Structure 1
Amino acid sequence: MLVYGSTGTQGTPVVQKLLDTGTRVRAVTRDAARAEHWKVRGAEIAVADLQHPDTLAAANKGISQVVLQLPLQYDFALHETYGRNAVDAARAAGVELTVFNTSAHVLQDTDVHAYQARQEVIDYLQSSAVPNIVLRPTFYMEILLGPWIRPGIVEHGVVAFPLPAEFPMSWVSAGEMAAYGVSALGRPELAGSTFDIGGPEALSGNDIARCFSEVLGKEVSYAAIAPDDYERALAPVFGPTVAFEVASQVRCIIERGDGTVEMTETAAQFSVSPTPLVDWIRQHSWDN
């Protein structure tokens, strides 16, 4: 089993779940030292770079199944190159199933470059000879741990995010998303399918604040950030291009009017225990 992004937020719980079930794992990383803990757990480490096909060929040798996550990348040509190289390596190795986690929304019929770039990789994978299952998550709960959000929660009791206070969104945890990926590996008959993945609850911003209030035992409120203000705040840190692209995704989601995912049929296909937000909050430290 080959897992890309093995030391990242998305890949870490995938490797963990596979090792917990006794599955042999080859963990892909660009830095062997960062994956040393997986080696201690019995995983094989493959040092490879998505920009270098020769390293991917070696990583895929003898592999039958792949879990693919790509790094967050706003150089969209590079993002597509990463995806194509990973697919080409899987095809050359005769991989029997690739589960591709797009890492974020992929909305159709938009002019948002991030969605288009992710769709390009999906199209390339689905046009290849590699059997595949595509999983498209909504917002990760782990966003709330980011340095631009967590301090506001901890220090001021405010969850600040660029969605309207009553806008519904099916937030999903990285752990739950990993569980869907691992479960998909056992469902090769679903090859050719695409699933949108959300968590068990449709949460508004005010709902999120109430969840934090319940767990932290103090009053937590929600502050909706206008997308234009969000873009202006990001620009000095990440540059104007990234700020625009990030804000464009938020604007598009808001224009759709609903960020929820109906999970009844999808949940019936996979054996995954849902993670409500209050449970996820309890799994993390919220001390200063």
Structure 2
Amino acid sequence: MTYVIHGATGAQGAPVVSALAASGRPVVPLARRAGAAAQGPATVAAEYSSAQQLTDLYRGAAGVFVHLPLGAEADRVRYAHNIVAAIREASPARVVFSTSGSGGGGLPEPADSAVSTVTGGLEAGDISYAVVRPRLFLENLLLPQVVGAAREEGALRYPLRADFPVSWASHLDIADVVADLFDRPDVTGIIDVGQLPAITGPELAGAFGAHLGREVSYEAITPAAFGTSIAPLLGEGPAAGVAGLYRALGELTDHAIAPERSAQKLLGRDPRSTGRWLADLGL
């Protein structure tokens, strides 16, 4: 029996493929385009727009890892319905879904959103499942204007208040948790992934400074300024969505995970510290 991994060439899926392959488990990596891989199995082309294709890929699988692609929410909702339909028809042994940072921490997810559609579909079915719910990804800090300024100017600029604690997590942490969850069918429902205790901007900057060997200070910038800076990379629409997220976070007191539903408590899995994450990446 194989493990079917969505987005196998992307930021979340690729580390999951690596984690499973390293433990000797057979993996079917899905991507938008089929192709050979430098290491591991070749990717299989899969379209979220075809429920039948997803059903064929999920059937007989020991596990399926799902996360939704970026894009227009109307498309994502359509994809979510196809994923749920395929899961119900194919009945894989286990499904792990990552919310990719949506919802949680005081940001309610609309009931008709793509993330809620997948989560609700899993809750309503009879398939063994778990929902991985991170807050913010450390990889967001690898944007050139963020890590570049930290390295060259000694300033970590980000659109969060200096006193705003966040339970950061890396894509590597998500991969570790997903691999654990495929081995732990007894753990179901929401699993929050992130650092405990949550850390503030100055603490984040301190970790960068320790790793880079220079003083790095934290500078809070506005969500609008951040959105403008990333628009050339992401496009105007996605950048506006990111800016909207940080405006919403600005209305909260923190963006921390709940200890009772944490990977630390449910799986005994501690996420990487910021310093270890930086070292693991070799930055």
Q: Say whether the fold is shared (TM-score over 0.5).
A: yes
Deviation at 1:84, TM superposition (A): 2.0
Contact 1:231 1:243 in 2 (8 A): yes
Task: Identify the match of residue 209 of structure 1 among 197, 205, 219.
Answer: 205
Counterparts of 2:196 and 2:27, CA distance in 1: 29
**Distance change >3 Å, CA 200–CA 111, structure 1 → 2:** closer
Q: Which residue of 2 aligns with 1:100?
A: 97
CA deviations over 1:30-61 (Å, ceiling 9, x no partner): 2222x513xx43x3643211122333233223
1:173-212 alignment, distance < 5 Å: 173-191=170-188, 193-212=189-208
Q: Which residue of 2 aligns with 1:63?
A: 61
Deviation at 1:196, TM superposition (A): 2.0
Contact 1:210 1:220 in 2 (8 A): yes
Q: Which residue of 1 aligns with 2:272?
A: 275
SS of the residue 2:127 aligns to: coil
SS of the residue 2:56 aligns to: helix
Q: Which residue of 2 aligns with 1:246?
A: 242
**Distance change >3 Å, CA 262–CA 46, structure 1 → 2:** same
Contact 2:206 2:216 in 1 (8 A): yes
1:1-288 alignment, distance < 5 Å: 1-33=3-35, 36-37=37-38, 40-41=39-40, 43=41, 45-73=43-71, 75-107=72-104, 116-191=113-188, 193-234=189-230, 238=234, 240-263=236-259, 266=262, 267-286=264-283
Root mean square deviation, CA, Å: 2.5
Counterparts of 2:105 and 2:196, CA distance in 1: 23
Counterparts of 1:52 and 1:260, CA distance in 2: 36
Contact 1:164 1:224 in 2 (8 A): yes
Counterparts of 2:134 and 2:111, CA distance in 1: 14
Contact 2:190 2:261 in 1 (8 A): no
CA deviations over 1:217-255 (Å, ceiling 9, x no partner): 111111111123334444566555433322221122221
Q: TM-score, normalised by structure 2?
A: 0.88
Counterparts of 1:103 and 1:114, CA distance in 2: 17
Q: Which runs of 5+ in 1 are unaligned?
A: none
Contact 1:98 1:133 in 2 (8 A): yes
Q: TM-score, normalised by structure 1?
A: 0.87
Contact 2:64 2:96 in 1 (8 A): yes
User: Which one-letter code corresponds to 1:7 in the other structure?
Assistant: T
Identity of aligned residues (%): 29
Deviation at 1:5, TM superposition (A): 1.0
SS of the residue 1:189 aligns to: coil
Deviates more, 1:259-268 or 1:87-96: 259-268
**Distance change >3 Å, CA 237–CA 179, structure 1 → 2:** closer
Counterparts of 2:116 and 2:279, CA distance in 1: 35
Deviates more, 1:22-31 or 1:101-110: 101-110
CA deviations over 1:121-169 (Å, ceiling 9, x no partner): 3223322343321111011111111233222222222211100112110
Counterparts of 1:247 and 1:114, CA distance in 2: 22
**Distance change >3 Å, CA 236–CA 45, structure 1 → 2:** closer
Contact 1:173 1:280 in 2 (8 A): yes
Contact 1:107 1:115 in 2 (8 A): no
**Distance change >3 Å, CA 30–CA 242, structure 1 → 2:** closer
Aligned length: 280
Counterparts of 1:246 and 1:27, CA distance in 2: 28
**Distance change >3 Å, CA 274–CA 14, structure 1 → 2:** same
**Distance change >3 Å, CA 28–CA 195, structure 1 → 2:** same
Contact 1:105 1:139 in 2 (8 A): no
Contact 1:144 1:150 in 2 (8 A): yes
